[in-house]
Amino acid sequence: MTQRPRAVTVLGATGSIGSSTLDVIARHPDRYRVHALTAHRSRETLLAQCRVHAPALAVLDHEEDAAWLRERLRQAGLATEVRAGAEALVEVSEAPEVEVVMAAIVGAAGLLPTLAAVRAGKRVLLANKEALVMSGALFMDAVGRAGATLLPIDSEHNAIYQCLPVEHRGGLARHGVTQLLLTASGGPFRGWSPRALAEVTPEQACAHPNWSMGRKISVDSATLMNKGLELIEACWLFDARPDQIQVVVHPQSVIHSMAAYSDGSVLAQLGNPDMRTPIAYGLAWPERIEAGVEALDLFAVSRLDFEAPDEAAFPCLRLAREAMADGGTAPAVLNAANEVAVAAFLDGTLGFAGIPELVARVRERCPVEPAGELEGILAADARARREAREWLSRR
C-alpha cells in the first residue's frame, strides 16, 4: 500500500531556509506535499512558489499584499486560498491536516505560530531560534505536554542532535556527555580589530564567506550574536548548562558541531555548508533522504582549523551567555534589543559597534522577570523594544 504524502506547512517560505525546504520537498513528491506557505511581505516570491507547489493556503502579514496575491492566483487559475495576519499564521501551523511544520520565520514574529504547532503536537522543524531564546522553559514544557516532535534545523544544533543519543533529556552527564562543542565560522570579520569593526558597512556584514542567509541572520553571524542565540537555544534543546557549551571558531564550516563524551570520544557531524542537509534530516527522520547536496570531498577541504572566539572584539557572545545565566526574561530582552539594533544598523542609523552597545544598555534598563507565562515574555519583549528605540532617539 502506497503511503500518502505528508502535509507540510512552511512558515517563512520566501527566506533562504524556506526556499531550501521547498527544494528538498520537490525532490520527493511521493513523500511530501505543501499545505501552506507563509511570508512577511515578499508577495512576488510567494506567488512564484504558489505556482510551483500549489499549496492549499498562502499567508501574508498584510491584507493589501494578500489581496494582490489573491488576484494574481485567480488570474493564474490556481485555487490557493490567501489569508492575512498573525491569526492566520497560527491557523496554518495547527491545522489538523498538517503533519510537519517548518518554523523558519526570522525573529520574535515566529514565536506564536511555532508554539501553536508545538501545542498541536506536530513534527516541528525548528529553524527559528528566537522561539526558544524567548520562551525556552515554556516552549520545552509545551513540547513534552503535547507529545510534539522537535527537530533542530540550525546546522549546529542539528549536528549535535545527530551526535547525541536518541533520548538525551535529563542532563548531559546522565548520558556520558561532558561538553557540547558549538562551531562558528567566525563570520566575515574574523581577526578584525575593534577599530576596523567600527567602519563596517551593512553590505560587508551581509557577505558571509560560507553560508547563504538572510540579511538579519548574516549581521547576527558577523557580530557573533547568532552564536550567542544558538548557545541559549542549545541549553534548552539539550538540557545543558551554559558552562557545558564551548563555542569553537572553525572557518571552513565543514564540522557543524561536536559532542564530547566521558570516555574521551568526540563525535562530530561533517558536511558541505548547505542547509538542505539538516532540512532533509528533519523531514525524513529517522530515515535519510537525498537532499541535492554534493558529497563532502575531504581532499578538496585538505585542512580543518579551530580557534577560540574573540569576545573582546565581538562582545555579543558574552552578552548572550550572561543573559542565559540570568534566566527569566533576560534572553527575551537580549533578543528584542538585538532585533532593533540590527534593523537600525541595516538602515544606516547605527554603526556596527553600536549593536552590542545598544543591547547592553537595554539589558541594564530591563529588570529580569519570571518567564513562566507567555504574556510576561511578550511584555518583556515589548519593553525592550521601547527602551532600544528610546536609546536610539537619544543618540
Query: Would you list which residues are annotated within the binding site for Mn(2+)?
Result: 154, 156, 230
Kindly give, in sequence order, each residue whose CB lies less than 8 Å from that of residue 265, ignoring residues fewer than 6 positions away: none
Binding-site positions read 14-17, 41, 128-130, 154-156, 185, 208, 214, 221, 226-227, 230
Kindly give, in sequence order, each residue whose CB lies less than 8 Å from that of residue 200, ignoring residues fewer than 6 positions away: 189, 222, 351, 352
Taking residue 204's Cβ as centre, other Cβ atoms within 10 Å add up to 12
Binding-site positions for NADPH read 14-17, 41, 128, 130, 214
Which amino acid belongs to residue 388? A
The helix (run of H) or strand (run of E) holding residue 36 is: strand 32-39
Distance CA 47, CA 32 (A): 20
E strand residue ranges, 104-232: 123-126, 149-152, 177-184
DSSP sequence for 284-340: HTTS----SPPPP-HHHH-----B---TTT-THHHHHHHHHHH-TTHHHHHHHHHHH
Kindly give, in sequence order, each residue whose CB lies less than 8 Å from that of residue 71, ignoring residues fewer than 6 positions away: none
Helix axes 86-94, 111-119, angle to 10 degrees: 30
Nearest CA to 300 among 272, 338, 263, 334? 272
What are the residues facing 266 on neighbouring strands? 260
Binding-site positions for 1-deoxy-D-xylulose 5-phosphate read 129, 155-156, 185, 208, 221, 226-227, 230
Question: Are the beta carbons of 127 and 281 closer than 8 angstroms?
Answer: no
Burial class (CB in 10 A: 0-12, 13-18, 19+), 389: middle
* Sign of CA pseudo-dihedral 214, 239, 283, 251: positive
